[in-house]
Structure 1
Amino acid sequence: MSFFFNQAKKFFPSEAAQKKAGLSVAGLVMLVVVCVLATALAGPGIRFAPVIYSEGEISQNTVRALQDYLVVDEEATLQRRREAPNLVPSVYDLNGQAMEQSLQLLTESLASVFEPPVSGPETAEKQPVSPPSAGKIAQTFRDRWSIVISGELAQTVARAEGRKELYRLVGENLRPYYERGVVANRDLLMREAGRGSGVIVKDLQAGEERPLSELAGTVDFDTARSELLGSPAKSATSLEKLSGILAAELLRPNLAFNQEETALRRKSAAESVSPVYYQVRRGEIIVREGDKVTADQSRKLAGYVKDTGNDGPVFLQNLGLFLSLFALCLISYEFGKQNIKKVRTSPRDLLFLSSLFILLLAIQRLGMYVGVRLEPDSAEIIRFALPMGAAFIVARMVLNSETVIVFALPYIAAASVCAGLESGFFLPLIAGGLLGGHFAGGAYRRIDFFRIGAIIGLVQAFAVTLILLQKGTLFTPAAPWPVIGAFFGGVLSAILGMTLVPLAESAFGYTTDMRLMELASLDHPLLKDMMLHAPGTYHHSVVVGTLVKGAAEAIGARAVLAMVAAYYHDVGKVAKPNYFIENQPCAKNPHDKLSPSMSALILTSHVKEGVEMAEKYKLGREITDIISQHHGTRIMAYFHEKAQAQAKPGGGGEVSEQEFRYLGPKPQTREAALVMLADVAEAAVRSLQNATQPRIQGAVQNMINRVFAEGQLDECDLALKDLHKIARSFTHILTAMHHHRIDYPAPVSKDKKEDGDMDSKRQPEGGRGRTEAGPEGHESLKRLGI
């Protein structure tokens, strides 16, 4: 994996370049590959939906419902659709102007007899009748209605008063029938009304509808006509008889069956019938292996696939999921890069997050597949029992919380799709995962993982309880199982996280806090060698570690990384310990016999040798980088000035500063800068003759200002306010280390005690302290075997 990463790194821009530019072409390609793999693992094409067998096919496997769902009852739905039209009332159109139209027809028929024509009863009184009008009237009745009237009756009709009376009598004969309702076929009306839904009367003129409540009052057209005629003979000698015959001839049905409107309403009612469903319970066997599939089983299979969201074209579903994941990943990446300062977007980090993403999805996919195949009823338990929260733990321990937030969005989306969106899986994953990532930031020991697992488990169990409460299934017999599964899922997440963190360290070269705590142990070979061969350097490194730990906590840097890096920052001095002042107990300095350039070469070599030792013992990239950066490009002023003094008599020679500078690079991180500052501050304070608090504070501030003025901190992310916090922290710790003690006198011999001059040097009463061993003291040491 390390080889693969080193090769892949060539195709990615640096992290700084990525901050300025967008995602590189290689990064986009990797993003596409990740989204394709995630779609293949979580997409609907590989979900556990059964095959939809047609009626008559032989089932190749036993299919059991993994959740409750509804299936359309085709027969019941069809029956309801057949019954729906019978509940729709028949529509009859009512002509409210039928009587006016009949009288208008009578008026128009008689109008041709008179000159000028008579238009109605109102004008009939005013029109004079010519002598032949009576004959014309009789002829008109005979031609138009086949009615034979007497001459006397014709004369009566010819007069205006007679016509007016005739109109009145005809209207009185027609009115009762039109008010009751005249239908062409009363049997049809009764048959439509007998369907159970009644009859609706639609007034064509008013546009209103009302139920026909008095069916018995309606009259058949033929019946009404017969009643008006009275006798088959169509001859009249009186206005009463003539009016009855005319009413029969003028009568028209005013209530007509609207077959088209009725059919349209009944069709709409049938189409609006909602499907009838019946429920298939979770765990119910839909079809057994080897059975011939029935129509009902085929419908159940189709309903199950539809309910689980797998009824559409698989390609389009997968394409939609791929595009959604791609957009979410790209948006999350750009948002984090532009708006979150500490988000990690280096090629190594992206490759690690992608690998973690796909690995956890593969575990989820495999776990659900195997679990469902072994026990179909266990899907609800397995869904929540899988260790999906491990991704948050690992990402937080390897990277940081800011990167975890950006990573969480696409990861939660893909895992929720894989588990089934209808399950509400995202809620326990968000709650448990983010909380687990929070506590993972302070995990240094193996036992911490079990505490984190218990916390994640409890949070996930509570989240699943809320889901069941929302679904209304909290108090069912099956409710405890997913809750229990969620708790064990949290525990398994911590166990898997504890396993994956060392793998991430090994494969990608990360150094986590847990690994750093292992490196801080005195049992490490490098620290043992330093303690034995360079004790002064070891003591100096421990003090520097104490300084940087306190300062890192003050400015919010990685305190553990800074402390452990400080322990190893001078490990290269083990190769030549006597050439460094802290390891020269007898005040014999070998540099006195060396030229300044050779001394500078030896001093700079400890950085190179330290890097080589760090790589040999696999201390990790972060520590190795700090070792190479902890001196930056500072100049060794003592040997540079010495070289200038020796260059020519009189000191006029030119000496290159570059020969007396460390090779760098300058500190790139806050932790590396802390080690540099603590290194020079500790050395400066140790050189003080009288280390009082003001002098310590002055020395610390002077060294920090000097390093800052030299530009050694230009490439790291330290602010001026951070430097003030660092100075205060260094001063506080160094003052505590260099505290003063009372100078206790040694005990005097018996004969000297008689000398009065020694009384003033006696220890004050009640004082205790360290004293040099006198004769009696030596006897005590002998008894202890020393």
Structure 2
Amino acid sequence: MSVWQRMSNNVIKLMNITLFKIILFVLIGVILFFTLYGNVKPEKLNVQLFSVADQTIRSPITVEDKESTEKKKEEAKNQVQDVYVVNKEIAQNRVDLISSIFDSVTEVNNEVEKELEEKKKKAEEEDKDKDSIKEPSVDEKVELLKGKLTNEVTNEIMDRSLKSLIPYSEDQLEIAKDITVTAIHTVMNGKIPSDEVENAKKRVEDILKVNDGLTSDLKSASIDLGRFAIIQNEFYDPTATEEMRQQAVDSVEPIRVLQGQVLVEEGQLISREIHRQLELVGLLDSDNSIQPFIGLGLIILSILAALYFYTFKRISKEKEKNIQFYLMFFLVLSVTIVLMKTISMFQQFEYTEIGYIFPAAMAVMLIKILMEEKSAMLVTIILAICGMIMFNEGVAGTFNVGMGIYIIASGLAGTLFLNKRNQRNNILYAGFFISFINIVTILAILYLQNGHYGAKEYGVFILLAIISGISSAVLTIGFLPFLETGFGVLSTIKLIELSNPNHPLLRKILTEAPGTYHHSVMVANLAESACEAIGANGLLARVGCYYHDIGKTKRPHFFIENQMNMGNPHDRIPPQASKNIIIAHATDGAELLRKYKMPKEIVDIAEQHHGTSLLKYFYYKAREKGGEVKAHDYRYPGPKAQTREVAIIGIADSVEAAVRSLNAPTTDQIDSLIKNIISDRLQDGQLDECDLTLKELEIVRNTLSETLKGIFHSRIEYPEMKK
């Protein structure tokens, strides 16, 4: 056993202790914290007001500049002018008022005329001189007119104007009213603010002056009435004004200092506004800022929680191999994160795009080959999160989303390209495929960012993408043997290498026990098809079958498949000795495999494929000879099959040997034979310690039957050539 394997086994024993599991999680958490700490630690700046900046400073976060926002809102509010509205009712009211004045003059004249006629009529009746009755004077009529008007009108309109209206007839007054009302209506339909009232009066006066349809006295009176009618009709509306100002305030978008935004250029003077923005984003108070570390802690806790629920929740307490796999998982993840941190440190030398050289698919391919695809997906997500933080172009607390996309694309490419049948040299082909995906991803990110780069810059990006893909493959090939050896991992690639016919043990079987070799190949075909039918590891079953009878090479002629043109040596020895030789091939094979440092899974197949089954032939032969014979003495030492693959190999081994013993087996004979062998193993308890279900056993039976029918199909008999 190698030093690495001994160390691995010691660690596995510790892994069964809960405290060690906690230590392992704490260790990975510490690695994550210290590798990401420098990328989230707020940058400490020694910036003085009115000093000159010695470097270009960018904002590490996106934050609202409330002071600038409030200032902009105040400016928008002040730009809204007062809202004035025109009261249309005022125009109509003033027109109605002037119309009523003219109507009142006509009414006074009619009343005076009527009263005068009544007095004359009464004088005639009384035989008085009607000529002595005089018409009321103009002043008297004016007084009567004032009685019909309001105080506002009588105070504002001069008596001269009223006197000028009294002498005119109703038709003349009607014409004057129409002309005056029209002029008033024309002027009052426009806006007349308080400071434009006099100008409006002047406009109505000008309209009436140019009218030739009135006498001078009547025109003068109409002008006075027109000027009187014109008043302010546009008034300040506080409610509408406030609404407009509120709309202007609401339309102002919050002013934000964006993450990555340049706050001050190198050599620029630190003004009060720049100093305020530096303080706003926390660059002047970095010693007291703990929020970035709280955020980092939450991210690490989320990663650890995902690892816990995906790893140790999946570990079976009976299977040390799973614990060993996940210990390797943490080791690969830790080494990759440290490598990522090392590459990210070159950003301080202005190599801001150095992250694209990171071999993002290395850990993913290692986990995919050594463990499973789901674990590789989890590694991809974790590395993408770490990459977004580490490759933040030197701006603490920012996220490089492009790098996260790049790592995810590269990791997925490595996961999807590799399959369970990949040879070791196909990893290099995967590197070329990853390089192509890297190039496509980088170009997509650059175009999405609307970046303007020259041919030289694009060439550098493409070169970095190619190096990332190829180095991922090279490092995977380089690390794979160490991990396989150190943790005793039986990977797909290792299985393919073990299936090489030139392997020393396979050549040993072929040369020393050729019958056993061909028997093993037949069993391998049966076991692989049955395992793949139920979702078990068919490749492991095939390779395990190649070596499962390696113990027969110690005494090959004691096994019937190797007895060509010779007698059976068991006929010359007692059944007990024969039993010991036959049973020993399982333990002898396990010892030989351990000597050649074969993987534990292969050793288990050789040791467990017979389980504790009874060696019936020699047991019954011993009973026939008489004496006390115990069935326990004629059973294999075991243990029983612990996995589905071992159980299926045991069934296939028995089935192949049994069918081969038949002379021209028929379909019904094959079906009956397989069913009896599986039923016998079930009743004997040989399948009690593996997780094969009855449904899977039925699938295994059908698969073995179909495969054997294809092997032992009928053939035509060729006629013998005669002279």
| Aligned mate of 1:379, from 320, 330, 352 | 352
- Is the CA contact 1:396–1:441 (under 8 Å) kept in the aligned structure 2? no
Matched, 1:96 2:88: yes
Matched, 1:458 2:431: no
- Is the CA contact 2:360–2:407 (under 8 Å) kept in the aligned structure 1? no
1:10 aligned residue: 16
Of 94-103 and 470-479, deviating more is 470-479
| Aligned mate of 2:193, from 162, 183, 186 | 183
| Aligned mate of 1:314, from 292, 313, 316 | 292
CA–CA distance in structure 2, aligned partners of residues 75 and 480 of structure 1: 45
Q: How many residues are aligned here?
A: 656
SS at match of 1:46: helix
Identity between Structure 1 and Structure 2 (%): 19
CA–CA distance in structure 2, aligned partners of residues 315 and 703 of structure 1: 69
Residues 321 and 279 of structure 1: is their aligned pair in 2 closer, same or farther, counting only changes over 3 Å? closer
CA–CA distance in structure 2, aligned partners of residues 528 and 716 of structure 1: 34
Residues 238 and 679 of structure 1: is their aligned pair in 2 closer, same or farther, counting only changes over 3 Å? same
SS at match of 1:459: helix
CA–CA distance in structure 2, aligned partners of residues 55 and 526 of structure 1: 77
Residues 630 and 644 of structure 1: is their aligned pair in 2 closer, same or farther, counting only changes over 3 Å? same
CA–CA distance in structure 2, aligned partners of residues 48 and 423 of structure 1: 21
Residues 47 and 603 of structure 1: is their aligned pair in 2 closer, same or farther, counting only changes over 3 Å? farther
Of 468-477 and 584-593, deviating more is 584-593
CA–CA distance in structure 2, aligned partners of residues 548 and 394 of structure 1: 27
CA–CA distance in structure 1, aligned partners of residues 471 and 186 of structure 2: 91
CA–CA distance in structure 2, aligned partners of residues 345 and 595 of structure 1: 39
CA–CA distance in structure 2, aligned partners of residues 300 and 163 of structure 1: 77
2:484 aligned residue: 505
1:153 aligned residue: 163
- Residue 515 of structure 1 aligns with an amino acid whose one-letter code is K
Deviation at 1:390, TM superposition (A): 1.8
CA–CA distance in structure 1, aligned partners of residues 620 and 377 of structure 2: 53
- Residue 97 of structure 1 aligns with an amino acid whose one-letter code is E
SS at match of 2:612: coil
| Aligned mate of 1:494, from 470, 473, 476 | 473
TM-score (normalizing by structure 2) = 0.68
SS at match of 1:635: coil
CA–CA distance in structure 1, aligned partners of residues 93 and 290 of structure 2: 62
TM-score (normalizing by structure 1) = 0.63
Residues 55 and 274 of structure 1: is their aligned pair in 2 closer, same or farther, counting only changes over 3 Å? farther
Residues 5 and 683 of structure 1: is their aligned pair in 2 closer, same or farther, counting only changes over 3 Å? same
- Residue 634 of structure 2 aligns with an amino acid whose one-letter code is F
Matched, 1:366 2:376: no
Instruction: Give the unaligned 5+ runs of structure 1.
Output: 13-24, 112-117, 187-217, 231-236, 338-343, 744-762, 766-786
1:776 aligned residue: none
Which aligned pairs between 1:362-511 and structure 2 lie closer than 5 A? Answer: 362-367=338-343, 369-374=344-349, 376=350, 378-380=351-353, 382-401=354-373, 404=376, 420=399, 422-423=401-402, 425-426=404-405, 429-430=408-409, 433-435=412-414, 437-439=416-418, 441-445=420-424, 447-473=425-451, 476-477=454-455, 478-511=457-490
CA–CA distance in structure 1, aligned partners of residues 151 and 87 of structure 2: 29
Task: Give CA deviations for 1:659-706 in whole Å, capped at 9, x if unaligned.
Answer: 4333444434453245324533554467x5xx86x3498886666434
Deviation at 1:427, TM superposition (A): 5.7
CA–CA distance in structure 2, aligned partners of residues 632 and 546 of structure 1: 20
Task: Give CA deviations for 1:110-131 in whole Å, capped at 9, x if unaligned.
Answer: 89xxxxxx9x999999999999
| Aligned mate of 1:726, from 704, 710, 717 | 704
Deviation at 1:185, TM superposition (A): 2.4
- Is the CA contact 1:390–1:433 (under 8 Å) kept in the aligned structure 2? no
CA–CA distance in structure 1, aligned partners of residues 26 and 648 of structure 2: 40
1:680 aligned residue: 654
CA–CA distance in structure 1, aligned partners of residues 217 and 28 of structure 2: 101
Residues 550 and 683 of structure 1: is their aligned pair in 2 closer, same or farther, counting only changes over 3 Å? closer
Residues 152 and 438 of structure 1: is their aligned pair in 2 closer, same or farther, counting only changes over 3 Å? closer
- Is the CA contact 1:53–1:301 (under 8 Å) kept in the aligned structure 2? no
CA–CA distance in structure 1, aligned partners of residues 268 and 452 of structure 2: 36
Instruction: Give the unaligned 5+ runs of structure 2.
Output: 1-6, 116-135, 210-215, 284-288, 392-398
Residues 739 and 432 of structure 1: is their aligned pair in 2 closer, same or farther, counting only changes over 3 Å? farther
Deviation at 1:548, TM superposition (A): 0.4
- Is the CA contact 2:180–2:208 (under 8 Å) kept in the aligned structure 1? no
CA–CA distance in structure 1, aligned partners of residues 304 and 41 of structure 2: 24
What is the aligned-residue RMSD (CA, Å)?
6.2
Which aligned pairs between 1:68-467 and structure 2 lie closer than 5 A? Answer: 91-103=83-95, 135=143, 137-138=145-146, 145=155, 147-149=157-159, 153=163, 156=166, 171-172=181-182, 174-186=184-196, 220=199, 241-256=220-235, 265=244, 269=248, 272=251, 313-314=291-292, 317-318=295-296, 321=299, 346-367=322-343, 369-374=344-349, 376=350, 378-380=351-353, 382-401=354-373, 404=376, 420=399, 422-423=401-402, 425-426=404-405, 429-430=408-409, 433-435=412-414, 437-439=416-418, 441-445=420-424, 447-467=425-445
Residues 583 and 271 of structure 1: is their aligned pair in 2 closer, same or farther, counting only changes over 3 Å? same
- In terms of fraction of residues, the more helix-rich structure is 2
| Aligned mate of 1:562, from 519, 541, 551 | 541
2:129 aligned residue: none
Deviation at 1:709, TM superposition (A): 1.6
Deviation at 1:145, TM superposition (A): 1.4
2:608 aligned residue: 629
CA–CA distance in structure 2, aligned partners of residues 454 and 148 of structure 1: 106
Residues 438 and 6 of structure 1: is their aligned pair in 2 closer, same or farther, counting only changes over 3 Å? same
CA–CA distance in structure 2, aligned partners of residues 121 and 506 of structure 1: 125
Task: Give CA deviations for 1:456-514 in whole Å, capped at 9, x if unaligned.
Answer: 21232233334444444487432232222222211111112123323432444321133
- Is the CA contact 1:181–1:255 (under 8 Å) kept in the aligned structure 2? yes
Residues 63 and 353 of structure 1: is their aligned pair in 2 closer, same or farther, counting only changes over 3 Å? farther
CA–CA distance in structure 2, aligned partners of residues 644 and 739 of structure 1: 44
SS at match of 1:182: coil
- Residue 49 of structure 2 aligns with an amino acid whose one-letter code is G
Deviation at 1:239, TM superposition (A): 6.0
SS at match of 1:97: helix
Task: Give CA deviations for 1:517-553 in whole Å, capped at 9, x if unaligned.
Answer: 4545678776687789xx23x7514640464057526
SS at match of 1:93: strand
Residues 280 and 545 of structure 1: is their aligned pair in 2 closer, same or farther, counting only changes over 3 Å? same
SS at match of 2:352: helix
- Is the CA contact 2:527–2:541 (under 8 Å) kept in the aligned structure 1? no
Deviation at 1:726, TM superposition (A): 3.5
- Residue 178 of structure 1 aligns with an amino acid whose one-letter code is M
1:552 aligned residue: 528
Task: Give CA deviations for 1:37-72 in whole Å, capped at 9, x if unaligned.
Answer: 7974897983598557756398998558899x9999
